[in-house]
Amino acid sequence: MGGSVPHPSRAALIASFDPPDPAAAAELADRLTGYQVPAGREWAISVIAGVARQARSFSDRALPLEDCLRALSSPWARLRALRETAAHPWPMSRLWADMVRAVSGPERARPATLLATAAYLAGDQVVASIAIEIALRSTPGDHTADAIYMAIHMGLPPEALKELLGVMTE
């Protein structure tokens, strides 16, 4: 995405989203499996708001990826994440790409869906298509991923998707 080195092929771009340490990604996925936000939606929303602020500042500070992945188990946090992604697709794409690389299995679906959304809104159809494929492979039947897939593959203009997301997250 913005400022990245081009990949020699689609396969190389797809591989760039693989976890660099598969064992660590699987371990993180195991810790997240079945997790439910115990502290209520306020905690989850505040985590997403915090990482969004940090992503927008392009800080080199490490993002709390595990907390963010845990927060995404809350539907309220997912709505906040969609709102932040619609408002700031380029900086949020970096966050979601890092999260896709950090975890394996079904836990990749939510950040991959958000990455697809960010990439599509930013005009990067190739990354959007790859990310939504990752999401759908990770959790077949995920309604949000299905909706983003339809938007991408039906050719819904990015501005129309952004407007739709704005209505959904109000």
Q: 137 phi and psi, to 5 degrees?
A: -70, -35
Which residue did the predictor score with more confidence, 86 or 57? Answer: 86
Measured CA to CA, the distance from residue 158 to residue 117 in angstroms comes to 9
Element (H, E) at 124: none
pLDDT of residue 141: 85
Measured CA to CA, the distance from residue 146 to residue 1 in angstroms comes to 23
Report the pLDDT averaged over residues 90-100.
Answer: 91
CA angle 137, 35, 78 (to 5 degrees): 65
Torsion-angle region of 105 (φ positive above 0: left; ψ -120 to 50: alpha; else: beta): left
pLDDT (tens digit, 9 = 90+) per residue, 21-73?
888 888 888 877 776 666 667 888 888 888 888 888 876 666 678 888 888 98
pLDDT of residue 111: 95
Report the pLDDT averaged over residues 114-132.
Answer: 94
Q: Which CATH architecture has domain 10-168?
A: Alpha Horseshoe (1.25)
Report the pLDDT averaged over residues 96-120.
Answer: 93
Which residue did the predictor score with more confidence, 156 or 33? Answer: 156
Domain residue spans in the chain?
10-168
Q: What is the DSSP letter of 139?
A: S
pLDDT of residue 25: 82
pLDDT above 50: residue 1: no
Q: State what percent of residues in the chain have pLDDT above 70.
A: 86
pLDDT of residue 131: 96
